[in-house]
Every structure is written in C-alpha cells, then in structure tokens.
Structure 1
Amino acid sequence: MHRNKHPRGTRNSRHEKKKYPFSKKIIFITTFTISFILICGGVYAIYAMQHTQKEISLPEDEEEQYEQKETSLLEKIRKKQHHEDFETTEQEKTEGNIQTLIYEPVAADSIPQLPAIKTELTTLIDIAQKNSSKKTETKLVGYVKREKINEQVFSYQPIVDTYTWDREKEDWSEKTEHGKNTAFVNQKTKQPLCLQDIFMSEANTLAIQQVVQQKLLSESPDGNAVIDGILNMPSISLDGTAFTYYSDKISLGLPENPTGKTEITLPYNEIAGYVNPEFIDADSIKDALPKPLESDKKYISLTFDDGPNPDTTPRLLDILKEKGVKATFFILGQNVVKHESLVKRVADEGHEVASHSYSHPQLTGIDAQTVKEEVQNTDKAIYHAIGKLPTDFRPPYGAVNKDVAAIIGKPIIQWSVDSQDWQSHNAQAIIKRIDETAYNDTIVLMHDIHPETVDAVSTVIDHLHAEGYEILPSKELLGKKAKPLHMYYGSNDERLVQ
C-alpha cells in the first residue's frame, strides 16, 4: 500500500544534501568580503599615514634650508623688537608647529591704556592660532607698535605678524593683523589723549558744535525737516563726548538726532581755528586759516543791523556792488521770513549774513527759554532762506552776559565805531561821525533800515578808501576764528563775556 512512497529517513537525507553546499557558499562569500575589506583598509591606512607624514614633516632635502631661514627669521624678529624705542620683554610658547612670541612693553606707566591693549593683543593671538594650520610651520609674533604722531602725541596699537612656511617658495610668507583700537597718549601728562587736549575750551567746542550742525544739515536730504532736532542736540562735551582721534581729522560721537547718524568726522582744516595745533598734524591745517592782516595796512568793517528792509536794503546792495565792497548784515528773523529773496540776494552777492535775534528784545532782560527761541527761530529763518546757519551774532543794544552768550553759542560781534545813524537820521551827520571816529581794525555800526544811512554809504566808502582803508566783512576782519563766549570790537579787541 505504501510501496510508492519514500521512507521519511530517505527524504530528510536528500534535503540535507541540498542544504549543505548553500551554507558553504555563504561562509565563503562572507570570508572573502571581510578579507577584502581588511586588505583595502590596511592599504588605505598605510597611504593615509604616509600622506599625513608628508604634510607634517619636511622632506630631508628641505630641512637644512628651513632651519637656516628659521634662524634668520627669528633673528630678524628679535632685532626689530630690540630696535623699538621702548623696552619690551619676550614670552615664547611652542605648541606643535606653531611658535608664539609676545613682546610686552616694560615701562607700563607710560601707556595708561596698556591693560586694554594687552587684552586685544591676546584676542588677536588667539584668532591667529585658530586660523593657523596645524600641519604647517608657523610663527606668531604679537607686539605693541608705538608711533610718534607729533611732539605731544604717541600712539600704541596691538599688532600680530603671522609667518607661514611656504614649501614651494622655500621661504616665509608674512601677514600682519592690526588691532581695531589705537591708544593715544599725551606726552605732557602721560595720560590718555582727551578732547580737552584737542579742543582746549568750552568756547571752541561751541564753535565746533556749529560746524557739526551745519554739516548734518548739509548732508541731510531735507534740512528743514530735521533742523529743530539738530539745533536742540546736546552740545559737545569735553569730558562726555566719545571720539576717535586721527592726526588729520577727528570723529565725534553724536547723541540721538533726527538724521540717525551716530558719528561725524571733521577734518581739522574745517575747524582749524578751534583746535590745538600741538596735538594734530600741522600739515592738516596748513593754509586752512587766512593769513594775518598785513601790519602796514588799515582795515575796517561795515556792518548793517535790523534789516532786511525792502525799501532800503536793495539800494544799499546796489551801492556796495558798485563800490566793490563786502559787508556784514546782522538781520532780524522776523524780517527774514517776510523777505527771504532779499536775504538770498545779500548772501549771493558775497556779504555775510549774521543773526541779530528774531524780534530785537534786550536779551539780558528775558528768561533763558525766550533767549533760546530768539536765537533758534532766527537760525531757522536764515537757513530756510539761504541754506546755511548764521555763525555770528550781534545782541540787540549790545546787551549780553555770560549766561546769554552760552545760550547764543556764537561769537558776539560788537562795534567800536557808532555812526549814530539811529539818532541823527541825517546823511551828513553820519558821514561826519564816521570820518571823525574811524580807526584801524574797527567795526562800524550802521542800520540798513534808514534811508539816510543808505544815502551816506557811498560817501562813507569813498572817504574810507581815500584814507587807505580796506573794507572787509567782520568775519574776515577777525580772521575767521572768532569764538563763542567771546565778544569782539575789532580785530585787536577781543573780550571774554562776563
């Protein structure tokens, strides 16, 4: 009955015979794969070690050349530091292929900012180490560079020189990294250079404030939109204003203002009359100031108050143009807003436009806020008319004191010859008065709102020319360096406002 069926044992044996060869094949493939991987890995490891060795080690034929140039380089580095005009100490450290040499000044008391300089030097060294290849011979040299700006100012700056061995050229390549901060030291005081050294006085800082205001307005797309904020900016402070010193210019930090600028740079030739020449590069202000008036010549300035007046000022301008004379107009803000085109003509024809307050009050008899408004409202009116702020100021009735002068923030231009036209209203009396009282280097007071004054001007000019006078605007008579908090009666009569 079961004759045609295979016994169980015989069927199992046949399956085993089929299974065994398959297992042997798996073992063979596995063994072969592992062996192949090991062999390849070994070959790669040997190659990598050889390749790395080539990058780290110098070839034997290059070793001698390298050692000679290394010795020469180190001699050069140490010789350079030895010849610096101040003594240093050397600190040496070697890690792998990177050798670091740091030179620190010995006379630390001559550099009050040395701790900050050392901190930045350490940072520069750390960055240089991180950026240096560990596989290339490198020398890092950190030191403080000292430079003589002039007799009164020395600068100190952290420097890192990186020397890297170039195998192709078989020589050192050099790269220098300068610190971002430079310390300047006043050699007289051995203290950090400060604004007091450069600007010297509050009067000079007020003058520079005017330059800053005008510069911000000139660089603004719409000066009239920002003028209020600019005129009300806090003044430059000798001890509170951040600055960056250069030998030919200075950058001043700005308080918050509508232009959004946080810093402004002023070349010294733009503020030449208000900086201490001992602390700057003399070439930076060369020819920036006008030459002194010639001692063998006579000079006088004609000034006109209270205008402009559309009935009299145009005729006066015609006379001045005919005579080739430039004058100074101390104008009232309330008249400027009424006659802007006339003010523009005054400026366009080369005359000086200066401020005489807005409504002609006696400034010493009103409160500080009103004084400020009288000054600023006139500044704005004049700026709107001619695009420039007035830089000089004549107080109504000549009345001024120290507090008022500080609010005005401009040089106070008084007079030394009074035509008394406001009293006489007579052309011949005006001519006679000036003929009798004029003298060299003086400022003449007149008013362009009086017809009689305009009637007298042509003869006044002829008489002055006949006496040998050269007629100048008051700014030129004073050498373009009059200062706030000071008042001027002539080029040789300057007084501090008390």
Structure 2
Amino acid sequence: MHKKNHSRITRNSRREKNKHNITKKIVLTSIAGLSLILICGGVYATYAIQHNPKQESQAEDISQYEHKEHALLEKIRTSQKHDELESTEQEKTDKNIQTLIYEPLTTEAIPQLPKINSELTTLIEAAHKESSKETPIKLVGHIKRIKVNEQLVGYQPILDTYTWNQEKNEWSEKTELGKQPAFVNQKTKQPLTLQDIFISEANALAVQQVIEQKLLSESPDGNAIIDGILNMPSISLAETAFTYYSDKISLTLAENSSGKTEITLPYKEIAGYVDPQFIDTASIKDVVPEPLDPNKKYISLTFDDGPNPDTTPRLLDILKEKGVTATFFMLGQNVVKHEALVKRVAEEGHEVASHSYSHPQLTSVDAQRVTEEVQNTDKAIYHAIGKLPTDFRPPYGAVNKEVATIIGKPIIQWSVDSQDWQSHNAEAIIKRIDETAYNDTIILMHDIHPETVDAVSTVIDHLRNDGYEILPSKELLGKKAKPLHMYYGSKDERPVQ
C-alpha cells in the first residue's frame, strides 16, 4: 500500500515538472517572439520615419530656407559693403521679421539726414504693420547716394522688403523709395536751393514768364483767367517750395486763377535761365541755341509803334519777298484795333513784342500806371495771337530798376537809330543806317511811317551787300535775354540800374 502511494506521487511529480517545463518553454517562446516583433517593429518604424515623404519634404524645406536665408543676408551685406555710402548695420528681430538698418558713417555730408531718417523710419513702420507675422520677412532700410554731377549729389531713403515664399521656396523682393531725394550742393555742402538753380532774380522773372504762358496755354479759356495770372505773385528764390529732378523742376504756386498749386517745367523750356552745373545737361542738349558764328556779321531790324493798317501790311509784303524776319514792338492800343494784322505778323514768323499800351515815359509815371501799361498790352497781344509777349522796349528807351522789375521782361534797346521818326525821308533813313550800322547790333525803325517802309527794301539790300545776316532780336541775343537787363546788341548787355 505504501509502495503504490509512493509510485503515484512520483508520477504526479513528473507530470507537474513536465507541465512546468512546457509552460516555461511557452513563456520563453512568447518572449522571444514578442522581442522579435518589437525589434522588427522598431526597425520598420525607424525606416518609416526616415523615409516618410512628407517629413522628408519638410526637412528639405527647412534646409533650403536656411541656405537661402544665409545667401540673402550675405548678398545684402556684401551689397552694402560695396555701396558708395559707407554705413553701419543696426539689426533687430521681432518674431519672423528681421530688420536691418544701414546708417551712413559720414553724417556731416548730408545736412538733411534727420529728415531722411525720419522718412525711412516711417517706411519701416508701415511695412511692419502690413506684413504677416507668420511669414519670414527681411526689412532692409538704407540710403542711396545719387550723383547727378560733380556739383550735385542726392540722398534717397530706400526700403527693400524680402518675403519668403513657402510654395516656391524663394525670397520675393519689393523696393519702396522715399518721396524725393534730398540734394546737396557739393560746393557749399548745403541743401540745394532755387538760388543755386536759377542763379538770379532776373532768371527767376524769366521763369515766371514761362509759368504764366504755360498756365494760360493749359487753360480751356486763357482769356477768362489772364488777369489773375498776370497778377499772381512771382516765384521767390528764397521762399518758393520746389521739387528737384535732374531733367525738370516742380514749383509750388501762389494762389491763382488757374486753380493750380504746382507746375512742372522741363529744363528744356527754361534752358537759358538755369545753371547747367545743377541739372542733367542732356535734358537741354537739343534746345540750347548754337552761338552765332564769330566769322559772320549779324544785325537785327526792329519796328516800333505799330501795327498800322496803312503801312504795316506793305512792310510785311517786303519782308516776305526778301525772306527777312524782324521784331515788332507794338503798342497795346493799336493791337486791340488791328488784331488780324497782329496775327498776320506772328503767322509770318516775326516776333511780336511789347512797347507799352499808350507810349508814356514809364520813368515819369507811378508804379500802378507802369503795371497797367505792361499788363494791358500783354492781354491785348495774348487775345490776338494766344501768346504773351516776352520782350519789351520802353518808350524813349526810358527805364530804371523799379520800372524794369514791374515790366518783368528783357529790355530790348537799340544801337543803331534810323532817325526815321525825325527825318521822315527814305533816302535819309537809308543813308543813316549805311553810315551807322555795325556788327551784332539792333536797328530802330517805326512801321507807322510810310517813308520807313519805302526805305526798307534798299536797307535790306545794302545790309546784305555788306555781309550782314538779318535776324529778329530774340535770335540775335541767343534766346537768352532776361529781365532786369538791357540789350543794345548781342555783345552789349547791361543790368538796369
């Protein structure tokens, strides 16, 4: 009995041991399998992570951005390093916006620098407000040096904005300029002034004439506004605001009947009245008249006091036949009576100029009377031909500084007096001119006298036989005559005292 029990216990023990061994094998096998799964899964996960197209693209994008950002900054800094205007860099980063400001080292060369910096700051602040905070942006503020010529240099604030384009993986660029460059006279080291450009009050008055004509020409009805235009204050060298360009200039106007507050004049329209040191000379290259040939003889025929319906038409016929152009200094009171005749004078290529309205001695009347004599003639001639007269001959040649300032036009005197007003004799007129004519001079005659007209054909023939080329006075003077100056010939210019 005892033996049986022992045998049964032994079998049970073996059975339990076998079960334990089987369980152990199962566990070990499971652990091994799980480990293999984990290892394989890790390998696969690592492979998947390393070879995920989306993540690969993102990583590549980051790499391209960093590379192109570095290249852009290198380009910006290299450009500034080689710029004519030496500067120092100030850098600031606000989230995705990096701002680089380049400040000039030689600040004393730019007297307007505080104003330029203020404008640059405004550009940068506006760009900050308009920019997306999610997109990388580079703001580069700097000052560009603009060399017009040796005498004039400009400085302009510039803002370059570089924005990262995620889709194209590249930087886009936009440039904003300050309103206007600030120009500096290199001789004085001071801001450019109208005095620099126009040189003198005389030239400023000449420019005023151009302004008046331009305002009238651009008006749908010049006659309706002419009084206001002729009475508008003249530009001031010290006070008139202006915007400079290398080929033109914009001037602020006083209140006037045209309603315009600013006018822009290409230098080619005022070529004789600007200092070429301060402009692009190419802008006036084709309009500056060639100087008279020093090897030739020149003379000008001028006629006062007309037009006269009995004598002026016959004179015009003679001049046309001879191929001569002349200058007619007309009285306003005759212009209003004979507008068609004035128009013919202009259409046939002669210069229509002013000789006052009623022929008083201007130095013996008050300023108001002088103004009326000048303006009434201006209006009469404008009404007849659509243009204001640009030259003036004072009755009796009488003029002083005050009168000349009111007139506001070049004063065209004479150097050869035919004395036709005294002799009233054709032969005497011819003889007088033959004996007194000389090179580069202006001859005084009157187209209201029949005897003068009788003499003209012979006068022209004699002058040509003596080698003279006959020109209107404006051409003789090179189209550069200016107010406050008197002209007796192309080589005899005198300031009015």
TM-score by length of 1: 0.88
Pairwise CA distance, 1:93: 0.7
Written as runs of structure 1 = structure 2, the 5 A alignment for 1:437-456 is 437-456=436-455
| Contact 2:412/2:486, CA 8 A, preserved across alignment | yes
Written as runs of structure 1 = structure 2, the 5 A alignment for 1:198-277 is 198-277=197-276
Partners of 2:176 and 2:127 in 1: CA distance: 9
* Paired amino acid for 2:496: V
The CA deviation string for residues 412-448 of structure 1, in whole angstroms up to 9 with x for no partner, is 0000000000111100000000001101100000001
Q: Report the equivalent of 1:189.
A: 188
Q: For residue 59 of structure 1, give the secondary structure of its aligned residue in structure 2.
A: helix
1:154 to 2:153 alignment: yes
Pairwise CA distance, 1:290: 1.4
| Contact 2:208/2:234, CA 8 A, preserved across alignment | yes
Partners of 2:140 and 2:376 in 1: CA distance: 60
Written as runs of structure 1 = structure 2, the 5 A alignment for 1:70-85 is 70-85=69-84
1:282 to 2:281 alignment: yes
Deviates more, 1:474-483 or 1:99-108: 99-108
Gapped runs of 5+ residues in structure 1? Answer: 1-57
Partners of 1:446 and 1:163 in 2: CA distance: 72
1:168 to 2:167 alignment: yes
The CA deviation string for residues 248-267 of structure 1, in whole angstroms up to 9 with x for no partner, is 00000011111110000000
Partners of 2:450 and 2:375 in 1: CA distance: 29
Partners of 1:371 and 1:259 in 2: CA distance: 24
Deviates more, 1:108-117 or 1:351-360: 108-117
Pairwise CA distance, 1:168: 2.1
* Paired amino acid for 1:426: N
Pairwise CA distance, 1:61: 2.1
* Paired amino acid for 2:288: L
Pairwise CA distance, 1:393: 0.3
1:335 to 2:339 alignment: no
Written as runs of structure 1 = structure 2, the 5 A alignment for 1:54-453 is 59-453=58-452
Deviates more, 1:466-475 or 1:180-189: 180-189
Partners of 1:441 and 1:61 in 2: CA distance: 82
Pairwise CA distance, 1:135: 1.1
The CA deviation string for residues 248-297 of structure 1, in whole angstroms up to 9 with x for no partner, is 00000011111110000000000000000000001000021211111111
The CA deviation string for residues 100-138 of structure 1, in whole angstroms up to 9 with x for no partner, is 111111211111111111111111111111121111111
Deviates more, 1:159-168 or 1:319-328: 159-168
Partners of 1:90 and 1:372 in 2: CA distance: 60
Q: For residue 482 of structure 1, give the secondary structure of its aligned residue in structure 2.
A: coil
Q: Report the equivalent of 1:40.
A: none
Pairwise CA distance, 1:86: 2.0
Deviates more, 1:148-157 or 1:255-264: 148-157
Q: For residue 132 of structure 2, give the secondary structure of its aligned residue in structure 1.
A: coil
Pairwise CA distance, 1:489: 0.4
Partners of 1:95 and 1:320 in 2: CA distance: 80
Partners of 1:122 and 1:322 in 2: CA distance: 69
* Paired amino acid for 1:148: K
Alpha-carbon RMSD: 0.9
Q: For residue 224 of structure 1, give the secondary structure of its aligned residue in structure 2.
A: helix
Pairwise CA distance, 1:154: 1.1
Partners of 1:442 and 1:403 in 2: CA distance: 26
Pairwise CA distance, 1:191: 0.8
Q: Which runs of 4+ in 1 moved over 3 A?
A: none
* Paired amino acid for 2:404: A
Q: Report the equivalent of 2:466.
A: 467
Partners of 2:148 and 2:296 in 1: CA distance: 38
| Contact 2:85/2:144, CA 8 A, preserved across alignment | no
Q: For residue 121 of structure 1, give the secondary structure of its aligned residue in structure 2.
A: helix
Q: For residue 389 of structure 2, give the secondary structure of its aligned residue in structure 1.
A: coil
Pairwise CA distance, 1:170: 1.6
Partners of 1:422 and 1:163 in 2: CA distance: 79
Partners of 2:391 and 2:298 in 1: CA distance: 19
- Residue correspondences, number: 441
Pairwise CA distance, 1:357: 0.3
Pairwise CA distance, 1:150: 1.4
Partners of 2:176 and 2:290 in 1: CA distance: 43
Partners of 1:454 and 1:175 in 2: CA distance: 71
1:496 to 2:487 alignment: no
Written as runs of structure 1 = structure 2, the 5 A alignment for 1:45-60 is 59-60=58-59
Q: Report the equivalent of 2:21.
A: none
Partners of 1:180 and 1:490 in 2: CA distance: 46
The CA deviation string for residues 357-394 of structure 1, in whole angstroms up to 9 with x for no partner, is 00000000010110010000000000001110000000
* Paired amino acid for 1:371: V
Partners of 1:121 and 1:374 in 2: CA distance: 52
Partners of 1:349 and 1:77 in 2: CA distance: 63
Partners of 2:179 and 2:400 in 1: CA distance: 45
Q: For residue 123 of structure 1, give the secondary structure of its aligned residue in structure 2.
A: helix
* Paired amino acid for 1:150: N
Partners of 1:460 and 1:181 in 2: CA distance: 57
Identical-pair percentage: 80
* Paired amino acid for 1:180: K
* Paired amino acid for 2:184: V
The CA deviation string for residues 42-75 of structure 1, in whole angstroms up to 9 with x for no partner, is xxxxxxxxxxxxxxxx922222221111111111
Pairwise CA distance, 1:354: 0.4
Partners of 1:149 and 1:84 in 2: CA distance: 16
